[in-house]
Amino acid sequence: MDDVDERSTNGDARGTTHETEIKTNVSRGISRVRALGRAIARTTTTTTTTPGVREKREAATRAIERAMDLDSMELSDGRDGVASKDMVVTKPKDIDDADFANYFCTYGYLYHQKDMLEDQSRMTAYHNAVRLNADSFRGKVVLDVGTGSGVLAMWAAQAGAKKVYAVEATHMAVQARKIVEANGLSDVVEVIQCKVEELELPEKVDVIISEWMGYFLLRESMFDSVLVARDKWMKPGGAMFPSHAKMYLSAIKTNKTEQKKQELDESLNVWDEFVANTSNNYGIDLSCMNGEFEDEQREHYLNCSAWCDIHPTQLLCAKPFTLASFDLNKCTKADIAMLRDVDFKLTLFERNSSASGEEVRAGAFAGWFDVTFAGSEANPCENVVELTTAPDANGATHWGQQAFYIHPEIRPSDGAVIAGKFDMLRRKENQRLYSVRMNWTQSTKEGKRNDSMGQRGIVWHIE
């Protein structure tokens, strides 16, 4: 199986269900909530719904509705609101309404924490990072930023930490406290419910452990919060777990691009019919909106990146390009918040598909990341552990990879060397979401630029 579409909708070989996207009609708008992993409610349209996600969808919808409507809710007998203790997940006071609705609310649900706890690659890497480097934890003071269910904090305690502060902004802190207690670790692990930005501790810490990574590493922008914690609470020479991160880019073959283009064309045909009918039936001419509708639909079908589970045989470059490398012990918010003007270069395989003899084209760029647990210069890890989200024949982690569709597709015969600039910037309307921009030209391996292709540029939103 070597197609993005099949793998991205059917789940991976590890038995995790990878629902692509779920629709939620929330208040007046339509929000999209990713079923799996790093959920952020969004404000754009959606295409795919996978069976079996109803419960998650309903839970997410309820949480968002609650966040939006609770304050204004009045009971029929005139009493104000609904007691928040009646709700499974409530909005903590220190989280602002929009950030709760767009980001935090889903983390308050066990179903969502479970999705992360079921990701074997993630779990094994973090568990090994702690367990195989017990010296980094024994007798130490540890801070777990965004403890969720408390799993990382408990591993730190099991490795011999003297004290673990486990900070969680959402209601999940209440559950984490129970889990810590049930595992007999409450004498070491102290669960504190607050945003880490508001945290007050009686002492500084030796180690900060956190699982903050979003799609394509940066989405969710949670590392901002980890940095606040590091700069305020880490002792000099302390170690970050993970300590390093890298982002990669490659090009892939996929039939999804052509499919998306066909869906776009169909949608525009339906629009034309709709405009004609509206004019005939109601005497209103909407054809002045043709351009606007096309822009809107093009953005939806071709300019939104997508979660995918790429099989290594789809890769069209011998080596991925390293877009960024971060030393998490030292980097600043400016280093990690965005990537600007990164010069990238990819060299495509020049080969024909054996079946049809047709040239294999690049239908998408693909991005992924890895993180490394190596400790710090002052406190290096004895056993360096890596967590990668690279394309894997055995299936993806819950982060998958991001596909950035290219229409028209790139033909290696027009120049197998793709070189240009890459930017990844935060979205103005939601700082936890990103857009990617790439401008590139094609050249031969001998360095001869193909001017007939000109310079191409595409902007994608990471949804």
Closest CA to 37 of 130, 127, 103, 126: 103
CB of residue 92 vs ligand SAH: minimum separation in angstroms?
A: 10
Closer CB to ligand SAH, 104 or 271, in the complex: 104
Stretch that binds ligand SAH, among 143-151, 255-263, 277-285, 334-342 (CB under 6 A): 143-151
User: How far is it between the farthest Cα atoms of the chain?
Assistant: 79
Closer CB to ligand SAH, 104 or 404, in the complex: 104
By beta carbon distance, the residue nearest ligand SAH is 146
Closer CB to ligand SAH, 168 or 409, in the complex: 168
Dihedral sign from CA coordinates of 188, 190, 196, 197: negative
The yes or no reply on residue 230 touching ligand SAH (CB under 6 A) is: no
The yes or no reply on residue 147 touching ligand SAH (CB under 6 A) is: yes
- Can you tell me the distance from the alpha carbon of 152 to that of 351, in angstroms, rounded to the nearest whole number? 46
Q: Which helix (H) or strand (E) holds 456?
A: strand 456-462
Q: Of 168, 220, 409, 463, which one is the catalytic site residue?
A: 220
Full strand arrangement of the beta sheet holding 163-168: 189-193, 163-168, 141-145, 205-210, 234-241
Q: Rule CB under 6 A: choose which of 125, 129, 196, 360 binds ligand SAH.
A: 196
Q: Of 19, 211, 409, 463, which one is the catalytic site residue?
A: 211
Question: ∠ at Cα 414 (413, 416), nearest 5°?
Answer: 70
Q: Rule CB under 6 A: choose which of 32, 140, 195, 300 binds ligand SAH.
A: 195
Q: Rule CB under 6 A: choose which of 20, 61, 149, 175 binds ligand SAH.
A: 149
The yes or no reply on residue 37 touching ligand SAH (CB under 6 A) is: no
Q: How many residues bind ligand SAH (CB under 6 A)?
A: 21
Any catalytic annotation for residue 211?
yes
CB of residue 158 vs ligand SAH: minimum separation in angstroms?
A: 15
Residue with tokens 């692990």: 189
The yes or no reply on residue 168 touching ligand SAH (CB under 6 A) is: yes
Q: Rule CB under 6 A: choose which of 172, 410, 416, 462 binds ligand SAH.
A: 172
CB of residue 62 vs ligand SAH: minimum separation in angstroms?
A: 17
How many CB atoms are closer than 10 A to CB 390? 17
The yes or no reply on residue 116 touching ligand SAH (CB under 6 A) is: yes
Stretch that binds ligand SAH, among 58-66, 140-148, 331-339, 359-367 (CB under 6 A): 140-148
Q: CA-CA-CA-CA torsion for 96, 101, 103, 104, nearest 10 degrees? A: 70
Stretch that binds ligand SAH, among 147-155, 233-241, 283-291, 399-407 (CB under 6 A): 147-155
Closer CB to ligand SAH, 104 or 215, in the complex: 104
- Can you tell me the distance from the alpha carbon of 46 to that of 66, in angstroms, rounded to the nearest whole number? 22
- Can you tell me the distance from the alpha carbon of 143 to that of 147, in angstroms, rounded to the nearest whole number? 9
Buried b (16+ CB within 10 A) or exposed e, 395-409: bbbbbbbbbbbbbeb
CB of residue 398 vs ligand SAH: minimum separation in angstroms?
A: 11
- Can you tell me the distance from the alpha carbon of 365 to that of 250, in angstroms, rounded to the nearest whole number? 6
Stretch that binds ligand SAH, among 162-170, 258-266, 312-320, 429-437 (CB under 6 A): 162-170
Whether the Cβ atoms of residue 193 and residue 169 lie closer than 8 Å to each other: yes
- Can you tell me the distance from the alpha carbon of 397 to that of 262, in angstroms, rounded to the nearest whole number? 29
For the chain, the first-to-last Cα distance in angstroms comes to 25
Whether the Cβ atoms of residue 230 and residue 348 lie closer than 8 Å to each other: no
Whether the Cβ atoms of residue 40 and residue 220 lie closer than 8 Å to each other: yes
Of 276-335, which residues contact ligand SAH (CB under 6 A)?
Answer: none
Q: What is the 3-state secondary structure (H, E, C) of 334-353?
A: HHHHCEEEEEEEEEECCCEC
Q: Rule CB under 6 A: choose which of 46, 61, 170, 376 binds ligand SAH.
A: 170
CB of residue 136 vs ligand SAH: minimum separation in angstroms?
A: 17
How far is residue 161 CA from its own chain's centroid?
Answer: 30
CB of residue 37 vs ligand SAH: minimum separation in angstroms?
A: 9
- Can you tell me the distance from the alpha carbon of 280 to that of 257, in angstroms, rounded to the nearest whole number? 35
The yes or no reply on residue 152 touching ligand SAH (CB under 6 A) is: yes
Stretch that binds ligand SAH, among 149-157, 308-316, 382-390, 404-412 (CB under 6 A): 149-157
Whether the Cβ atoms of residue 403 and residue 411 lie closer than 8 Å to each other: no
The yes or no reply on residue 370 touching ligand SAH (CB under 6 A) is: no
CB of residue 100 vs ligand SAH: minimum separation in angstroms?
A: 10
The yes or no reply on residue 213 touching ligand SAH (CB under 6 A) is: no
Site string for ligand SAH, 373-412 (x = CB under 6 A): ----------------------------------------
For ligand SAH, the binding residues (CB under 6 A) are 104, 107, 116-117, 146-149, 151-152, 167-170, 172, 195-197, 211, 222, 225
Q: Which residues are catalytic?
A: 211, 220
